[in-house]
Amino acid sequence: IMATRWGICSAGKISHDFTVALRTLAPQDHEIVAVAARNLEHAQEFAKKHNIPRAYGSYEELAKDADIDVVYVGTIHPHHLSSGTLFMRSRKSVLVEKPLAMNAREVRALITAARDNNVFLMEAIWTRFFPVSLEVRRLLAQGDVGEVQMVRADLGAPLTHVPRLAEKNLGGGALLDLGIYCLQFVFMVYNGERPESIQATGHCLDTGVDGTAVLVLKFSGNRMAVCTCSMTMMLTCDAVISGTKGTIKVPHHMWCPTTLEVNGKERQFPLPEPGMPLNFTNSTGLRYEAEEVRRCLLQGLKESPGMPWSDSSLLAEVMDEARRQLGVTYDQDGVQ
């Protein structure tokens, strides 16, 4: 079986971490063929640093490279639709950094492009594939905490100084960048079920994006979820599943978890050490989503059972509704 041949789109911080994470996997399974940035020098620097054979100064050149199976799209949110579509039209599979796109309409357009070009597409919700998340699903499936009645998830840190979070034209906002982790956790627990009601409140920054958002979701059978995300304050960054018989807790780093607490008993799921310094917490955990992509490609799947298109659509629709209630609109929302 041949290695999965990767192209890296964008030479930014997350692409660096993804590349470092790929290097923790067997080289006979994952090979990085090329990197592209909109600035050739940036791509060349990145290629040199990571020992990648080819560097391109445009995404179009990467799309034309016949030796690539799948492209990791690490651009800022507003470019996900155009980049993802470009690669899929070139018959390349894509792993697009979260959020998959700016709104539900764009998410639908990406899914349509995947269908039309018969390629694999996945939103890079890396959390889903961590050993901790797989264990949470297993525990829920065997009913360890009884019937789940409440899920709570919080994620926040003071990040208003980061332009891509604070600026509207860069796709900023707490919900799209942080809240998506809380919501995806809820949908993982509730098996992708659509909530019966969504109530959102919070506040916006002067830039017009949401600084803090609190979402209360009600599901069938009176099951609830509360998600809090903020880029103005430090939150606990944990998640708790409460059932009729007990609790499952992800005590910290709920977006990249290595610890699990079941009815008060703690277990560790350590990550491999990175080969070079990382930009973000626990980034070697990006390896798990890369392994999922390879597994799906080898099986000929077009979407991942662990992060299906229906979940990506639901996430986008719920975030659209929450933004509507918060009064946050992007330029992308106006296009019909």
**pLDDT one-digit tens code per residue, 157-209:** 999 999 999 999 999 999 999 999 999 999 999 999 999 999 999 999 999 99
Q: Please report how the helices 40-50 and 13-22 are oriented relative to each other, as an axis angle in degrees rounded to 10.
A: 30
Q: How much of the chain exceeds pLDDT 90, in percent? A: 99
Q: Is the pLDDT of residue 251 over 90?
A: yes
Give the whole-angstrom CA distance, residue 93 versus residue 307: 15
**pLDDT one-digit tens code per residue, 45-57:** 999 999 999 999 9
| Nearest CA-CA partner of 110 in 71, 159, 144 | 71
C-beta neighbour count of 97 within 10 angstroms: 24
- Asked if 198 and 318 count as a contact pair (C-beta separation under 8 A), the reply is yes
Token pair 């996900």 is found at: 80
- DSSP-based three-state secondary structure for 80: helix
Give the pLDDT band of residue 321 (cuts 50, 70, 90).
Answer: very high
Give the whole-angstrom CA distance, residue 213 versus residue 200: 7
- pLDDT for the residue 336: 44
DSSP string, 8-39: EE--SHHHHHHHHHHTTS-TTTEEEEEEE-SS
Q: Is the pLDDT of residue 217 over 80?
A: yes
C-beta neighbour count of 143 within 10 angstroms: 12
Listed in sequence order, the residues at least 6 apart from 70 whose beta carbon sits closer than 8 Å to its beta carbon are 4, 5, 6, 7, 92, 93, 94, 95, 120, 293, 297
**pLDDT one-digit tens code per residue, 139-162:** 999 998 999 999 999 999 999 999
Give the pLDDT band of residue 212 (cuts 50, 70, 90).
Answer: very high
- pLDDT for the residue 310: 98
- pLDDT for the residue 334: 87
> For residue 328, with 0-12 CB atoms within 10 Å meaning exposed, 13-18 middle and 19 or more buried, which class applies?
buried
**pLDDT one-digit tens code per residue, 54-111:** 999 999 999 999 999 999 999 999 999 999 999 999 999 999 999 999 999 999 999 9
Query: What is the topology classification, in CATH, of domain 4-126?
Result: Rossmann fold (3.40.50)
| Nearest CA-CA partner of 226 in 292, 142, 155 | 155
Task: Return the domain boundaries, the chain.
Answer: 4-126, 131-260+308-330
- pLDDT for the residue 125: 98
Write down the mean pLDDT value for the chain: 97
Give the whole-angstrom CA distance, residue 311 versus residue 188: 9
Question: What does the pLDDT average to over 201-223?
Answer: 98
Listed in sequence order, the residues at least 6 apart from 301 whose beta carbon sits closer than 8 Å to its beta carbon are 120
Q: List Cα–Cα distances, 100 to 84, 85, 307, in angstroms.
A: 9, 12, 11
Q: Please report how the helices 131-141 and 180-189 are oriented relative to each other, as an axis angle in degrees rounded to 10.
A: 30
Kindly report the length of the chain. 336
Give the pLDDT band of residue 335 (cuts 50, 70, 90).
Answer: low
Give the whole-angstrom CA distance, residue 96 versus residue 59: 14
Query: What is the topology classification, in CATH, of domain 131-260+308-330?
Result: Dihydrodipicolinate Reductase; domain 2 (3.30.360)
Give the whole-angstrom CA distance, residue 163 versus residue 180: 19
- Asked if 155 and 235 count as a contact pair (C-beta separation under 8 A), the reply is yes
Q: Is the pLDDT of residue 309 over 50?
A: yes
Instruction: Tell me which DSSP letter residue 308 carries.
Output: -
0.75 exceeded by pTM: yes
Amino acid at 203: H
